[in-house]
Structure 1
Amino acid sequence: MNTPLNDAALAEIALFLKRLQWAFVIVGALAVVWLLAPILTPFVMAALLGWLGDPLVDRLQRAGRSRNVAVTLVFTAMVLLVLLVVVLLVPVIESQIAKLVKSLPHYRDWFLGTALPWLEGRTRLQLSSWLDLDRLVELVRTHWEKAGGAAATMLGYLSRSGFAVLAWVANIVLLPVLTFFFLRDWDVFIDRAAALVPRKHLATVTRLANESSAVLGGFLRGQFLVMVILGLMYGVGLWLVGLDLGILIGIVAGLFTFVPYLGPTTGVVFGVIAALVQYGDWKHVVGVLAVFGIGQVIESYWLTPKLVGDRIGLHPVAVIFAVLAGGKLFGFLGMLLALPVAAIANVLLHYARDRYTHSRLYGGDQPEILLDTHLSNGGIIVPDDNSGGNKDAGQA
């Protein structure tokens, strides 16, 4: 016959083994994601697109259209939007890249003739000696074996590049097909996932899932609009300043806006360098700074509060860490999953904090200290089981 102590010990052991089992399941899932990252990338992108488009499909269904018709309309709108972007932006970006390639010798001459002497004068370091061609050739001869190893590695990569190109093309072809199926069957996937949740936890899991979806969906839709608007503003502004590469720099800065502070910083650095190389005066540098300054004011006081707000609830440092850590661990797939995982983790952390602040571990078994709103001096009353406790406190 088991004693109460033995029953408690067995319960603790069972709980520990259950947690250990879940830990192995999580580690195994992460290992599978890491191994299958190149294959999973189009599926994750399609799932994100299907999830973002599902609210519009549901809205069309509520308006009286069938699921298939609503999915077809939303999917067609997505395809047309992508085609419009490609038709409008690809020729412009191609022209900008051609200008960049053509002007590379000017950037090299500016760096060697202007920027490098200025840096040497400020730092008192002989940086030009490290860029001397003869010195570089000598370094290659000294480390020939290492250079040969690197060359062999590069040749091996180039030999495999044909397969990489084929995989890239296959992913592009798969993406619209997968997106259509995710849009059509999104509610089915959700219902099947909900059917696997234990019934006693269904209400809690549903609430947390809805919170995560609302937080992340609002953030991604709003952030995408902010990126597009800022990219157009920066590109047009730098073009008006007179930079030949202004549109390209503006587009890059708009895309990098997804990571806090990285977009404007990158745009300012590239814009100032382009202005100095092309014109060599401070008037155009001031113009570049004015474009990004106005853009930051509009983003901070209008775009972000109206379109994004504080929906994701993450500090910018946490966003940067999530994106960099996801990219480091799982490559491009990790960068795609970084913000969704961070948003879900943030919702779960808020839930865990609420559970903790309402637990006996946090509050203990002691009676609560209640603020007496009737006392003007901010005094407190400690409740007591004896009827004379409050009376004595009042007399004191």
Structure 2
Amino acid sequence: MMGKLQHSVYALLFISLSVTILYVSREFLIPLTLAGILAMLFVGLCDKLEKKGISRALSALIAVILLLLGIGTIVFLLTWQLNDLTTNIDGMKQRLISLFQNLKDWINESFDISSNQQDEIIKEQGGSSEGAGSMLASFATGMLDALVNMILIIVYIYLFLYYRSRIKKFILKLVPFNQEQKAKKVLQQSTRVSQQYLSGLALMILALWIMYGIGFTLVGVENALFFAILCGILEIVPFVGNITGTSITVLAVIAQGGQTDQIIGVIVVYLIVQFLQTYILEPLIVGEQVNINPLFTIMVLVLGELIWGIAGMVLAIPLLGIVKIICDNIPALMPYGYLIGTDRKKKTNLIDKIKSSFSK
């Protein structure tokens, strides 16, 4: 009894220490972790290329180029649609000013606060020109940091793919010889979970682009493709992403002078897409590869946001999936793997079904 209690105390201390290290070292660990997860997506491709006689350096470079092409395609689509959006920006600005003035008039009539008093309150809350300059400087600094981190992530991905055999051998050297096969199994399962999660997520985003694009076009949203792409990309942030994308679309429709039926139409499109995504697309495309119950899915998303912000929410689920695999293969940690898992039978995703059909 005391032995089990002692193990539990040690586990809690280890978790607390890990969370502290993750928070303090987040600027270093976020790009490194994101690169590691993305590199796992291309391990299978690099292995196939190397079996055909392509050098490891070239196969890693091809993987990085494919990733950059994918990112470049998304940026091109957004920029292309954004150019059309900027042509209507003056009209949207005038509508927003009109809406803001109507809001000020309503506040004046309802709470007897004049427009001048409202302006003074806004200035006191940081609406001065100095505050705007500070926000602009912060935005520029944030964009520069994002660019540096993007370059760093690309370099990390290439190096992870190039040195993946050495990294694997290093991990195997850390475990006792009689545990080497189990360690190999954990590495294979972790890589497989990351690959399936990321590839399933990519297919999900593509499906969301199509559904939102059709729905927003039928509703009559201006620049429907831009908002469809935006809502799809925000899917990388679980739970929060779809709501955020739809909220932005609703605000844009209001700014474009859309009527009530258009706003209701956008919300109806969101609800229909959510239904199709939850009950049809997710079981078919993604399945339950990570195999984590909803309670710990939400908990790890909240914890990820507290420690690493948006990046933590993006990385939380695949990382917890890897942690569960480790727990399931270490006897002392099996209770924790059981706690965060689910008893539902693991479903086969669309990618696995296609592979199995070709292998028959």
Q: Verify same fold: TM over 0.5.
A: yes
Q: Does the C-alpha gap of structure 1 residues 262 and 335 become closer, same or farther in structure 2, counting only changes over 3 Å?
A: closer
Task: Work out whether 1:324 is the aligned partner of 2:302.
Answer: yes
Q: Deviations over 1:121-150 (max 9, x none)?
A: xxxxx9953975333355479xx6x869x9
Match among 12, 16, 21 for residue 32 of structure 1? 21
CA RMSD in angstroms comes to 4.4
Match of 1:52 among 18, 24, 41: 41
Change (3 A) 1:280 1:54: closer
- Determine whether 1:129 maps to 2:118: no
Give the letter aligned to residue 312 of structure 1: V
Cα distance in 2 for partners of 1:129, 1:333 equals: 41
**Cα distance, 1:239 vs structure 2:** 3.0
2:56 counterpart residue number: 67
Aligned partner of 2:354 in structure 1 is none
Indicate conservation of the 8 Å contact 1:50/1:186, yes or no.
no
In the TM superposition, 1:7-46 aligns within 5 A as: 27-46=16-35
**Aligned equivalents of 2:262 and 2:211: distance in 1?**
17
Name the TM-score, length of structure 1 as normaliser.
0.66
Q: Secondary structure at the match of 1:311?
A: coil
Q: Distance in 2 between matches of 1:245 and 1:251?
A: 10
The aligned residue for residue 389 of structure 1 is: none
Distance 1:101 1:256, change over 3 A: farther
8 Å Cα contact 2:209/2:231 also seen in 1: yes
Equivalent position amino acid for 1:129 in 2: F
Q: Does 1:305 align with 2:287?
A: no
Change in CA separation of 1:313 and 1:25 when aligned onto 2, cut-off 3 Å? closer
Distance change in 2, residues 1:127/1:208 (3 Å): farther
1:191 matched to 2:169? The reply is yes
Q: Match for residue 341 of structure 1?
A: 319
CA deviation map 1:216-270 (0-9, x unaligned):
3212210122113202431343134321243333223213334555455445545
**Distance verdict in 2 for CA 1:226–1:164, change over 3 Å:** closer
Percent identity over paired residues? 23
Unpaired segments ≥5 residues, structure 2: 336-360
Alignment gaps of 5+ in structure 1: 1-8, 121-125, 357-396
Change (3 A) 1:76 1:195: same
Indicate conservation of the 8 Å contact 2:32/2:156, yes or no. Answer: yes
* Alpha-carbon distance between aligned partners in 1 of 2:29 and 2:54, rounded to the nearest angstrom: 32
Cα deviation, residue 108, structure 1: 4.9
Higher RCO, Cα 8 Å, sep 6+: 2
- Count, aligned residues: 335
Deviates more, 1:338-347 or 1:44-53: 338-347
Shift of 1:160: 7.0
Q: How far apart in 2 are the matches of 1:205 and 1:153?
A: 54
User: CA 1:100–1:201 in structure 2 vs 1: closer, same or farther (change >3 Å)?
Assistant: farther
Sort the Cα spacing of 1:166 and 1:267 in 2 relative to 1 into closer, same or farther, 3 A. Answer: closer
Cα shift at 1:311 = 1.3
Return closer, same or farther for 1:277/1:59 CA change in 2, 3 Å cut-off.
same
Shift in CA distance, 200/354, structure 1 to aligned 2, threshold 3 Å? same
CA contact (8 A) 1:96 1:247 kept: no
Distance 1:276 1:28, change over 3 A: closer
> Which deviates more, 244-253 or 273-282?
273-282
Q: Hey, what does 2:357 align to over in structure 1?
A: none
* Aligned-residue offset at 1:327: 1.6
Q: Which whole-Å deviations, capped at 9, do the CAs of 1:260-304 have from their partners, x for residues lacking one?
A: 554554455454555566465455346435544553454345432
Equivalent of 1:181 in 137, 159, 178: 159
Q: 1:386: which partner in 2?
A: none
Residue aligning to 2:68? 79
Matched position secondary structure for 1:257 = helix
Contact kept in structure 2, 1:129 and 1:135, CA below 8 Å? no
Aligned twin of 1:388: none
Change (3 A) 1:64 1:96: same
